[in-house]
């Protein structure tokens, strides 16, 4: 029998859910994404579930992200800074 999954994050924004999911997966945490979004432009609420053995780690990472204290691993700060300052396409 498999491990139980627990909810660690819920948001009204499907996009915010995808971002949080990517951050957790980058840390090696398996994530089950539950969302109501359908089609090419999904919208609506989203929930992230993780195996119970990863719950504490996932909650810590999400809390650090929320507070702004989470550091991006592997020196990716430059990549993120470049993305944030990139001009939008015309």
Separation in Å, CA 49 to CA 23, 40, 53, 66 = 13, 23, 11, 17
- Please write the tens of the pLDDT for every residue from 33-88: 988 766 777 778 899 999 999 999 999 999 988 887 666 655 555 555 555 555 55
Q: Are 50 and 24 contacting, i.e. CB atoms less than 8 angstroms apart?
A: yes
Q: List domains and CATH numbers for the chain.
A: 5-85 (3.30.70.1530)
- What is the structure's pLDDT at 79? 53
Residue 11 pLDDT more than 60? Answer: yes
- What is the structure's pLDDT at 23? 92
Q: Are 37 and 44 contacting, i.e. CB atoms less than 8 angstroms apart?
A: yes
Q: Structure pTM?
A: 0.70
- What is the structure's pLDDT at 74? 57
Backbone angles phi, psi at 41, to 5 degrees: -125, 70
Confidence of residue 28 (pLDDT cuts 50, 70, 90): very high
Separation in Å, CA 62 to CA 6, 7, 35, 82 = 14, 12, 18, 23
């Amino acid at each position: 029998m498999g491990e139980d999954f627990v909810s660690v994050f819920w948001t009204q924004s499907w996009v915010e859910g995808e971002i949080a999911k990517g951050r957790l997966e980058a840390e090696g945490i398996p994530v089950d994404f539950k969302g109501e979004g359908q089609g090419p432009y999904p919208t609506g609420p989203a929930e992230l579930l993780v195996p119970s053995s990863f719950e504490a780690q996932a909650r810590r990472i999400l809390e650090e992200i929320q507070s702004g204290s989470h550091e991006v691993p592997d020196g990716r700060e430059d990549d993120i800074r470049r993305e944030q300052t990139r001009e939008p396409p015309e």
